[in-house]
Amino acid sequence: MKKARSKKPPEKFADTDAKDKSKLKRKDYAKSLLALHEELCALQDWVKTTGQRIIIVFEGRDAAGKGGAIKAITERVSPRVFKIVALPAPSDREKSQMYFQRYFAHYPAAGEIVIFDRSWYNRAGVEQVMGFCTEEQHRRFLELCPFVEKQIVESGIFLLKYWLEVGNAEQERRFRARIDDPVRQWKLSPMDLPSRERWYDYSRARDQMLAATDTDFAPWYIVASDDKKRARLNLIKHLLKQIPYEHLPRKKVKLPRRNMEHAYDDLKTMSNRRWVPEVY
């Protein structure tokens, strides 16, 4: 069955340097996110009960907001169901393996949702642009990727792929904020600043990737991410619509009373312990 695709990008992406003046109020964002979190919890119950398997892939330029989007999805659900995979650079042993091999080990078992913060698409992006793979390896990846993803889908796994598209001016603003803010500087990886210089190389790599791997059985969904809050809400709303989950009935829980049969003064036993000073 063919999946519907958006007819055109959002208006603000007609000019990537244009700023969206309408700010989403914090309370409106929090209210909308809470409602989506309730749905994610319902999805979680359904996945656990039915043994479903889901893979969600997040890709995009550096500073596109992948980490914040993943945090928004996972902050109120169980890490035993929603598993985040963010693999480091491959070891020498992994470099000698079949390219997809190290990702296979992280695919979901029954009742799991695996979120890839960067994925096998590293080869289509940073590896290709920064020269970490050969042109032949890049070409071979684009050729094989749809075949691998078809096997994933035909095995019964839901596969969702999201590309977060950040504009030129907004990426520059976010990089400058990281450079100037001590609590954000850790976000600057060795690849970030070179990626800024190679903006158009990444654009070409993105376009090659989408042309080769945007298929009917595993389509790419593009998220306009200049406005982080709206991007997170739109993404989660869309994600939930792609999965035919149901709200399962929950048993009412009653909190039991303490058993007083073996009661003793358990506060007294703590009086001489090393308590953390209450500075705040």
CATH code of the domain in which 93 resides:
3.40.50.300
Is residue 59 domain-resident? yes
Q: How far apart are CA 231 and CA 223, in angstroms?
A: 6
How many domains would you assign to the chain?
1
Farthest-apart Cα atoms in the chain, separation: 74
Given a contact cutoff of 8 angstroms between Cβ atoms, the answer to whether 59 and 66 are in contact is: yes
Is residue 258 domain-resident? no
User: Is the pTM value of this prediction over 0.85?
Assistant: yes
Condensed to tens digits (0 to 9), the pLDDT of residues 39-75 reads 999 999 999 999 999 999 999 999 999 999 999 999 9
Is residue 17 domain-resident? no
Condensed to tens digits (0 to 9), the pLDDT of residues 158-204 reads 999 999 999 999 999 998 888 888 877 777 777 777 888 899 999 99
Predicted pLDDT of residue 183: 77
Is residue 82 domain-resident? yes
What is residue 3's DSSP assignment? P
Q: How far apart are CA 108 and CA 33, in angstroms?
A: 26
> Per-residue pLDDT for 132 more than 90?
yes
Given a contact cutoff of 8 angstroms between Cβ atoms, the answer to whether 30 and 133 are in contact is: no
Averaged pLDDT for residues 79-94: 96
- Domain extent at residue 240: 24-252
Is residue 276 domain-resident? no
Is residue 257 domain-resident? no
Condensed to tens digits (0 to 9), the pLDDT of residues 91-113 reads 999 999 999 999 999 999 999 99
Is residue 183 domain-resident? yes
Averaged pLDDT for residues 249-258: 91
pLDDT band at residue 7, thresholds of 50, 70 and 90?
low
Predicted pLDDT of residue 31: 97
